[in-house]
Amino acid sequence: MAVPKSRTSLSKSRKRRGANRWRAQQLNKCGNCGAVTPSHIACPSCGHYGDRPVLDRVVDSF
Protein backbone atom coordinates (compact mmCIF):
# COMPACT_ATOMS: atom_id res chain seq x y z
CA MET A 1 0.00 0.00 0.00
CA ALA A 2 1.05 3.56 -0.60
CA VAL A 3 2.08 5.45 2.51
CA PRO A 4 2.63 9.24 2.52
CA LYS A 5 6.21 10.29 3.25
CA SER A 6 5.14 13.23 5.36
CA ARG A 7 2.02 14.76 6.80
CA THR A 8 -0.01 17.08 4.55
CA SER A 9 0.07 20.58 6.00
CA LEU A 10 -3.10 22.50 6.79
CA SER A 11 -2.43 25.10 4.12
CA LYS A 12 -1.85 22.43 1.46
CA SER A 13 -5.06 20.57 2.27
CA ARG A 14 -7.09 23.79 2.49
CA LYS A 15 -5.79 24.94 -0.90
CA ARG A 16 -6.88 21.64 -2.39
CA ARG A 17 -10.35 21.89 -0.85
CA GLY A 18 -10.66 25.55 -1.84
CA ALA A 19 -10.46 24.67 -5.52
CA ASN A 20 -13.93 23.09 -5.27
CA ARG A 21 -15.65 26.11 -3.76
CA TRP A 22 -18.74 27.74 -5.27
CA ARG A 23 -18.09 30.82 -7.38
CA ALA A 24 -20.63 33.42 -8.46
CA GLN A 25 -21.46 33.51 -12.15
CA GLN A 26 -19.69 36.19 -14.18
CA LEU A 27 -22.06 38.70 -15.82
CA ASN A 28 -21.10 40.85 -18.81
CA LYS A 29 -22.88 43.45 -20.92
CA CYS A 30 -23.84 42.37 -24.41
CA GLY A 31 -21.85 44.29 -27.01
CA ASN A 32 -24.80 44.42 -29.38
CA CYS A 33 -27.81 45.37 -27.23
CA GLY A 34 -26.28 46.18 -23.82
CA ALA A 35 -28.27 43.59 -21.86
CA VAL A 36 -26.65 41.79 -18.93
CA THR A 37 -25.66 38.29 -20.04
CA PRO A 38 -23.75 35.41 -18.40
CA SER A 39 -20.28 35.02 -19.90
CA HIS A 40 -19.69 32.35 -22.60
CA ILE A 41 -23.43 32.22 -23.38
CA ALA A 42 -25.32 33.78 -26.29
CA CYS A 43 -27.36 36.86 -25.34
CA PRO A 44 -30.96 35.74 -24.64
CA SER A 45 -32.44 39.09 -25.72
CA CYS A 46 -30.74 39.68 -29.10
CA GLY A 47 -29.17 36.29 -29.88
CA HIS A 48 -25.59 37.52 -30.44
CA TYR A 49 -22.47 35.77 -29.17
CA GLY A 50 -19.58 38.19 -29.41
CA ASP A 51 -20.16 39.99 -32.69
CA ARG A 52 -21.98 37.16 -34.51
CA PRO A 53 -25.73 36.44 -34.52
CA VAL A 54 -26.21 32.81 -33.46
CA LEU A 55 -29.91 32.81 -32.46
CA ASP A 56 -32.86 34.15 -34.43
CA ARG A 57 -34.11 37.04 -32.28
CA VAL A 58 -35.71 40.39 -33.10
CA VAL A 59 -34.45 43.47 -31.22
CA ASP A 60 -37.12 46.08 -30.47
CA SER A 61 -35.72 49.58 -30.98
CA PHE A 62 -37.36 52.55 -29.29
Report yes or no on 36 lying in a domain.
Answer: yes
Report yes or no on 8 lying in a domain.
Answer: no
Number of domain units in the chain: 1
Q: What is the pTM of this model?
A: 0.54
Structural domain including 50 reads: 23-62
Q: How confident is the model at residue 61 (pLDDT cuts 50, 70, 90)?
A: low
Report yes or no on 38 lying in a domain.
Answer: yes
> Quick one: residue 2, left, alpha or beta (phi over 0 = left, psi -120 to 50 = alpha)?
beta
Q: How confident is the model at residue 58 (pLDDT cuts 50, 70, 90)?
A: low
**15 φ, ψ (degrees, to nearest 5):** -60, -40
Report yes or no on 18 lying in a domain.
Answer: no
Q: How confident is the model at residue 52 (pLDDT cuts 50, 70, 90)?
A: confident
**Chain segment 1-45, per-residue pLDDT in tens:** 899 999 999 999 999 999 998 889 999 999 889 999 999 999 988
